[in-house]
Structure 1
């Protein structure tokens, strides 16, 4: 049972990384935020992880280290919609309408990324917004905001 994160690949130089044989466990994007995991590595080894409350996995986390090997966390590709608003106004309209559906979003410099949702895709298509459906590696978990409409 692994119960702590040892470090991150981001902390190691390329030269340091090349000294190790890399074994990976792949996690669904939505599962990165969980504390408990039962996974199978790309070397077909069963791995159980239980992190302390308040901790969760990140892409590149080192969860096991020996003299020659590193076991690291990676993420599976995610079915997403990548939306490219043409203006700030359009971004506001899209964000407002998708926000009413409580869809978590991530943002890059010029795009909004949401998990694939057929209703959202229909909305984007009907309104002729520029978007693409992609199978993409998303390194941070999509997080749902807690909400109540009855207050």
Structure 2
């Protein structure tokens, strides 16, 4: 099956009567131009979106009268930090930015993929990071560049 567009998001629809099949896409693959995956129920699916876009958790990529196929971003090990002040927020983001690690926000929480050296650095600087399991969604846009 070849998918070329996103049909909507499961959060915005009522598909209670349809079976749900899932494609698991890791957070670091959501903006790839071409993906080949196998769904939870064993369907081989190629994804090549005609309109450049990133995949989001819950995106519907196929629907018929009996089932829908959605994108699921699985949880992974992450570092979570809740800054106490805007100054602390700036310092934390500066340290993470120096490592060129993608940054995710969820309310007042800063989240990054787990990286032990970064975790230890944040602890050393007194920021009180927590190791958690989370879905990495809501990434801040970042620019790719070479030094």
Same fold by TM-score, threshold 0.5 exceeded? yes
How many residues align? The count is 146
Q: For the structure 1 residues 27 and 142, does the alpha-carbon distance in structure 2 shift closer, same or farther, using more than 3 Å as the test? A: farther
Question: Are 2:72 and 1:71 equivalent residues in the alignment?
Answer: no
2:28 match: 30
Q: What TM-score results when the alignment is normalised by the length of structure 2?
A: 0.87
Q: Higher mean Cα deviation, 51-60 or 136-145? A: 136-145
Cα distance between partner residues in 2 of 1:26 and 1:114: 19
2:16 match: 18
Q: For the structure 1 residues 19 and 112, does the alpha-carbon distance in structure 2 shift closer, same or farther, using more than 3 Å as the test? A: same
Cα distance between partner residues in 2 of 1:141 and 1:108: 9
2:4 match: 3
Unmatched 5+ residue regions in structure 1?
none
Q: For the structure 1 residues 74 and 142, does the alpha-carbon distance in structure 2 shift closer, same or farther, using more than 3 Å as the test? A: farther
Q: What TM-score results when the alignment is normalised by the length of structure 1?
A: 0.85
Unmatched 5+ residue regions in structure 2?
none
Does the 8 A contact of 2:104 with 2:139 survive in 1?
Answer: no
Q: CA deviation at 1:53?
A: 5.0
2:46 match: 48
Cα distance between partner residues in 2 of 1:92 and 1:133: 20
Q: After TM superposition, which residue ranges in structure 1, 4 or more long, deviate above 3 angstroms?
A: 140-144
Q: CA RMSD in A?
A: 1.9
Larger radius of gyration: 1
SS at match of 1:62: strand
Q: For the structure 1 residues 148 and 36, does the alpha-carbon distance in structure 2 shift closer, same or farther, using more than 3 Å as the test? A: closer
